């Protein structure tokens, strides 16, 4: 992935990034995405080479009593009543 990091960072730097409006748990860190991370092209590029911390992210979500996992809610696009 290393050859893709710099071109990806340049591409992301041309996009207007903004802080999330809903809570997002990062698969890169396993914790909530900060506003600074969300708006930093270098942060997004670095995730191309970082280890995925999916289990840590899921554990974080499950530890928060009001959090929901994608696909765990009912609504117009789910198969739940």
CB 9 within 8 A of CB 45: yes
Who has greater pLDDT, 79 or 30? Answer: 30
Distance between CA 61 and CA 11 in Å, rounded? 30
Predicted pLDDT of residue 78? 47
Taking the whole predicted model, whether its pTM rises above 0.85 is answered as no
Predicted confidence (pLDDT) at residue 30 exceeds the cutoff of 50:
yes
- Mean pLDDT taken over the chain: 84
Q: Report which of 67, 7, 1 is spatially closest to residue 31, judged by C-alpha positions.
A: 67
Exposed (0-12), middle (13-18) or buried (19+): which is 49, by Cβ within 10 Å? exposed
Predicted pLDDT of residue 42? 96
């Amino acid at each position: 992935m290393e050859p893709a990091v710099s071109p990806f960072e340049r591409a992301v730097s041309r996009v207007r990034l903004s802080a999330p409006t809903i809570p997002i748990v990062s698969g890169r860190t396993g914790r909530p995405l900060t506003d600074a991370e969300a708006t930093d092209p270098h942060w997004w590029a670095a995730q191309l080479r970082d280890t995925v911390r999916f289990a840590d992210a899921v554990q974080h979500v499950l530890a928060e009593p009001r959090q929901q996992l994608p696909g765990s809610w009912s609504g117009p696009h789910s198969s739940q009543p």
